[in-house]
Structure formats: C-alpha cells, structure tokens
Amino acid sequence: MTFSSPTPRSSRPSGRRISPAERSPSAKIRDLLDHPVIDTDLHTVEYGPLVEAYIDDIGGARAVDAWRAALVRGFGQLGNDWYALTPDERRDRAAPRPPWWALPSENTLDLATVSIPRLLHERLGESGTDFAVLYPNISTFAVHIGDPELRRVIIRAVNTYNADVFRPYADRLTPVAAIPLHTPEEGIEELEFAVNTLGLKVALIPGNLRRPIPELARRYPRDAFPDLVRYTTWLDTFGVDSAHDYDPFWAKAVELKVPLTTHSIGMGWTSRSSWSNYMYNHIGHFASASEALAKSLFFAGVTRRFPDLRLGLLEGGAGFASSLYADLVGHWEKRGAPFIGRYDPDRLDADLLHDLYLLHADGPVLERLGSAQDLAEVAFGANQARRIPQDRNALDDFAAAGIERIEDIRDRFVPNFYFGSEADDPTVAHAFNTRVNPLGVELNAFWASDSGHWDVPDLRLVLAETWDLVERGTLTEANFRSLVFENPYRFYAGTNPAFFRGTAVEEVLNRQAAAE
C-alpha cells in the first residue's frame, strides 16, 4: 500500500479549532527543565477503516472478515467471550472480566489526539514531552492472537500501518513494532522485517504465552473439547522451562540494536480472575506479568549470555522491581550454591536431636520418642518430603544465571531491565532508594505516561503529576531527571546510538552543547 503524505493545512477546509486557553501545567514544568523529556509509553488508537485496508492489502478479504469476527469474539490473553455469556455462565466458567471503557471518551480532544498522528505531534508539547514512544492498541494484543495465519497478517499489517502513518512525525514520535514469539523463528522474521524494511526501531514482545499442557492436550484434543482449552494451559515466559530455545531471538535483537519492551497483562491469573470486578483483576496485573518475565530471563541465564540485551517492562511500576531485586539477593543468600547444603537432611545430627528431646520434651512426646534414628525419620511428618532423594547436580536454582556472589545478581539484573512507571505512581521512589536496594543501587525506572488510556484523563497533566512527587519530597530533582530523561535515553540510545538522530531530543542536546 502506498501511503500519501499529510494534506497541507492550507488546502484543508476551515472548521472548529481547539486552542488551549493557556500554557498547560506540564508545558510549564518543561519550561523549567534543562533537559529533554522522553515518554516511553504513549498509547495510540488506530483508525479502523484504514487498518482494514492494510489487512486487505496483505491478507485479502478473508483476513478482514476474520479480523472483524475476532474483534467481536475477543481473543488474546482474556479471549473468553465474557460479553456473550450470561452472569451465571460467567460464574460457572470462571471467565475473568476483561477491560472495558479503556479510552478517554469524555475528553474528546485527547481521544482525537491519540488517534490522529498530526494532532498528536502538534500537542505533544502540552504533555511536557519532547519525544514519545508509541504503543498502538492493536499492537499490544496482536502478539497474543492464537491463530497463526491471522496473527502474522495482523501483525504485518499493523506494523506497516504504524510505520507509514507516523513516518512524517519521526522527530517527536516513533511507534513500536509488534513482534510475536510463538516460536523464535517467527519472532526473528518479523523483527528483521520491522527493522530492515519498515525502519521501526523499538520492539514490543509478549511477556508470556499460554501453551497447551501436553498431557492434557493429548487426553482432551482441542477439536473434541474446545471449551477446555483455556483451563488446560501453562505460561511460557521464554526462559525457565520454555517450549523453545529463544537465544537466537535475543541474539538477533542485540545484533539489530533493538531495545525490547513488553506490555503484557496478568489479568486472568489466580487472584486476578474475578468474573465480576475489573478493578480487582487490574490492580497489580502488569507488575505480576513483568515480574514473571524478568524472573524467567534472569534464572534461565539470558541476561548472563546477552549482557547487552535491554528489556523495558511497562506499566508495572518500580515497586515490584525493588522487591524482586531484593528477593533475588535474599533467596540466593539462603539457597544459593554456597548455602543450600545447610538444609541437606543428611547433615542432621540425629543424636543431638534425640538428646534435646529427652531434655526438653513433655511426657506425651517422650512416651512415643523411640530411638534417635526413629526420631530423625518420623518426628517432622510435615517435612517428610525433604527426605526424598534429590539430584545433587540440580540443587542450585541460580546455576544458569551463573551467580557466585551478590554482585553477580546486580550485574545480571540491574543493567538489563527498565521499569515503566506511570506519571502519578509514587512507588517509583523505590527504584531510587539506595538505602534499601541491595548494594546501594538505583534501579532503572523510566517515565511511562500511559496517555491515551483511562489512567490519564488529561494528557496536559502528566508531567506536572510527576513533578508533584518532587514537590512532595518523594523524588529529588536528580531522581526526576533520571526518570524522565537519563534512564529512557540510556535505554534507547545505549542500545542504538543513532536512535535519537534527527529527533527533538537530539536538537535539545545539541543546543545545550552549543550553549556550553
């Protein structure tokens, strides 16, 4: 498809124009700063009829029909026909309530802004932002489409659509490329096309995929038991226990100098599977999904083998990141290779244990005490599983990550992961709390406004909301600079030094350098 250049304003019909009465609160904050502001997560909405034209161009009319049916039916991580079910059926099937009313409808100007590239480019400064990485709505869930033929068509179409419509505005806006990972080969093919053919420079991958449990798939074939599919899956997070070796994909991302990001949901998982309450399912779900992926890649040794790999985990905030990093250290200090032997049942001193029981136990226990060996074998009934023989070569869960000291955890976690924190999220302070984070490190939190979704009723307020954290003492001005500029700049330019070439960010930095 050939995408024409934007129509010059002078040739457009006149109409009602909406002009801000005064400079926005976020723009005023930006005026005070001596550095650019980079938004790592701004959501856009595709224009449906044009997207369908791209789908038709790539997959034909049948693909368009399949796409329309999928939109009605629902698909992806929560595709469970919730809206087609009665309340009793929702309960009976334990069908998690999916997102609803997700767009800023009352704020019509903002809705138009995130769906019209030219208008977004014009108004970006009102959010206090110099440059934004865009997450088109279809891209975020297309990577989870189960039908392989439809998935490939939709992803190729939406990537081409976004590359085309945002190309004229590349100085301030860049869309992500949706990259499926049902197999590493599929991911590599789409990544190469997106980067080499379309010129896209950020990738969006799924954080997890639901795959059939093999034994249950054999016993209950999909064709014969279609309703059981969503109950008989496991989560593949591309690292620990993955169905495939994804090292070739990670290697390709490093080779192409593409920063990877993920925006997958954790709704529908265990405690986030209410059939009636969306907020119950929503709170914490991005953090849950991001934690699962980060843990998986760390424990599988992916960050050890690919130290230059960078992964942005969006919308989960920094609270879980600080907790996860501390947990990795704390667990290694108890169950890492140098320490796991402390819990070996063979190290139990049965005679000493017997003597202690003789000295301190009460009568009913002493009546049943038996010998020292009997005591060691049967006293702790709840822990009998610890007597089950273990493979002595498979006791170190940190082995693949190559952890021999705490500093190794820092070096294979901190540089590789960046944590998207929304504008009004106070837990971002945890990332900068060097008194709590092991080894006194700061974690890589970066600013992710989430403009374009219900989280942001007014995009003019996002930077001002984050600056409020400075005024409240939650963040220092240095933390704020790291959050909105230094960390996102390092994430993108550290992977691809040419990332900001020709952009407003480069313009600001060059102007500052000239002034110095």
Same domain, 180 and 101: yes
Q: What percent of the chain has pLDDT over 70?
A: 92
106 pLDDT band (50/70/90 cuts)?
confident
| DSSP run (H or E) holding 420 | strand 417-421
Same domain, 44 and 84: yes
Q: Tens of pLDDT along 287-336?
A: 999 999 999 999 999 999 999 999 999 999 999 999 999 999 999 999 99
Tell me, yes or no, whether 310 lies in a domain: yes
Tell me, yes or no, whether 103 lies in a domain: yes
Longest dimension (CA), the chain: 99
Same domain, 386 and 466: no
Q: What residue numbers bound the domain in which 378 lies?
A: 340-394
Q: Tens of pLDDT along 429-479?
A: 999 999 999 999 999 999 999 999 988 999 999 999 999 999 999 999 999
CA distance 466 to 484: 9
**33: closest CA among 426, 362, 385, 464?**
464
Tell me, yes or no, whether 109 lies in a domain: yes
Tell me, yes or no, whether 105 lies in a domain: yes
Same domain, 70 and 200: yes
Same domain, 357 and 319: no
Same domain, 352 and 372: yes
| CATH, residue 108 | 3.20.20.140
Same domain, 328 and 444: yes
Same domain, 270 and 363: no
Number of folded domains that form the chain: 2
Is the model's pLDDT at 346 over the cut of 50?
yes
Burial of 270 (0-12, 13-18, 19+ CB in 10 A): exposed
Q: Tens of pLDDT along 89-102?
A: 999 988 888 888 88
**Displacement of CA 332 from its chain's centroid (Å):** 25
